[in-house]
């Protein structure tokens, strides 16, 4: 034989061992108890606790606020559309890499604060222009700052500093930053 075994019949010990293995193979496995139901009450208790926890957690992180939206007024007079001193204005300073600073407020655009001859931004001229605006609107504190992606972070910080104060006088201390598109 090629497998290396002798062609003799199996011994009694081998037959007994094979019989034991055959008997074990014939042993019946108990049937699964299909009539038993899954208890859902503990599962539902856990899920309800998780849902309530998630709702409370999400609600505490979401800022809830009311948007103040006022529709525009229709007026035939050009002077009526201009804001009056003491009124709130929507002041926006845009940093333009090519031109300098653009100042827009309450529908009126002011002349551009140009860059210096060296190509640097003129932060002192911006502060002076905002100081003039502050004289007309002494109660105004907020200003929007917009800059495109090409403006350096250093320029944005210096612009914010120029808008906040002139010497010891506070100009616009509530600066909101946005991205120009």
Each residue of 99-141: pLDDT tens digit?
Answer: 888 888 876 777 888 888 888 888 888 888 888 888 888 888 8
pLDDT score at 49: 94
Q: For the chain, give the secondary structure using H, E and C.
A: CCCCCCCCCCCHHHHHHHHHHHHHHHCCCCCCCCCCCCCCHHHHHHHHHHHHHHHHHHHHHCCCCCCCCCCCCCCCCHHHHCCCCCCCCCEEEEEECCCEEEEEECCEECCCEECCCCCCCCHHHHHHHHHHHHHHCCCCCEEEEEECCCCCHHHHHHHHHHHHEECCEECCCEEEEEECC
Q: Percentage of the chain with pLDDT > 70?
A: 73
> pLDDT tens digits, residue range 62-105?
665 555 555 655 555 545 445 555 556 788 888 888 888 888 88
Domains of the chain, start order: 12-61 (no CATH), 88-179 (3.30.420)
Q: What is the pLDDT of residue 31?
A: 63
pLDDT above 90 as % of the chain: 7
* pLDDT attached to residue 74: 58
């Amino acid at each position: 034989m090629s497998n290396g075994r002798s062609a003799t019949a199996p011994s009694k010990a081998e037959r007994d061992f094979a019989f034991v293995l055959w008997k074990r193979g014939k042993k019946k496995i108990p049937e699964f108890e299909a009539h038993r139901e899954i208890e859902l009450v503990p599962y539902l208790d856990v899920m309800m606790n998780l849902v309530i926890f998630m709702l409370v957690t999400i609600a505490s992180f979401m800022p809830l606020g009311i948007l103040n939206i006022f529709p525009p007024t229709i007026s035939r007079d050009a002077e009526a559309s201009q804001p009056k001193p003491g009124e709130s204005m929507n002041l926006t300073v845009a940093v333009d890499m090519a031109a300098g600073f653009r100042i827009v407020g309450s529908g009126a655009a002011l002349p551009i604060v140009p860059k210096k001859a060296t190509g640097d931004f003129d932060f002192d001229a911006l502060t002076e222009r905002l100081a003039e605006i502050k004289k007309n609107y002494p109660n105004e504190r907020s200003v929007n700052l917009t800059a495109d992606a090409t403006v350096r972070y250093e320029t944005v910080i210096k612009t914010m500093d120029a808008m906040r104060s002139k010497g010891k006088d506070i100009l616009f201390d509530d600066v909101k930053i946005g991205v120009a598109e």
